[in-house]
Amino acid sequence: MITKFVTMFVIVGACLSFSCKAARQAESSSPPKGTAQSGTDQTIQLLRQDIQSERKQLIAANLKLTADQATRFWPVYDQYAAELSKIGDERVALIKEYAEQIGNITDEQALSLSKRALAVDEEVPKLRNKYVPIFGKAVPGVTVASFFQLDRLIQGLIDLQVASQIPLVQAQK
């Protein structure tokens, strides 16, 4: 299990590192603004799809489900993942907004981004709390607890990789 998580950590890190490099190249090459942004958006979308696929594979590999449980679990998981992806959309939008302001961010903009980022961060635990009883109707409590344990671990690895790629606001002044 640990080996699979280390593998995912490396994959996510490589994807995010590539994504940040692509974004920097798009910003520095200065082709028509819509073209560079479109390419960066496509790269981010593809990387997010890869991460979502890897996440599902890791959960499938580490969550012990009977065939009957799997039949009930995966549709709920797909709903959960779709809602989690919407929260991810909000995060990506904030990161992109910050990237556009790098080097010129005002105190007011920094505070606004901070407040909105914290609000987005609060959405994930709310979503998990919403889905505990929903998953609980599909699979036993131990399985639900194991799933959320895996989910938090995977999300933590992703968050660590994302955070490591974002320059500090203070360094921009």
Q: Do 110 and 169 contact (CB within 8 A), yes or no?
A: yes
Q: How many domains does the chain have?
A: 1
User: Domain of 165?
Assistant: 2-172
**The pair of three-digit structure tokens given for residue 87, joined into one six-digit string:** 């929260």
Q: What is the pLDDT of residue 2?
A: 47
Query: Which residues are CB-contacts of 23 (< 8 A; sequence separation ≥ 6)?
Result: 40, 43, 44, 99
Q: What is the pLDDT along the chain (173 residues), one digit of tens a residue?
A: 444 444 444 444 544 444 444 444 444 444 444 455 667 777 777 777 788 889 999 999 999 999 999 999 999 999 999 999 999 999 999 998 988 888 889 999 999 999 999 999 999 999 999 999 999 999 999 999 999 999 999 999 988 988 888 888 877 65
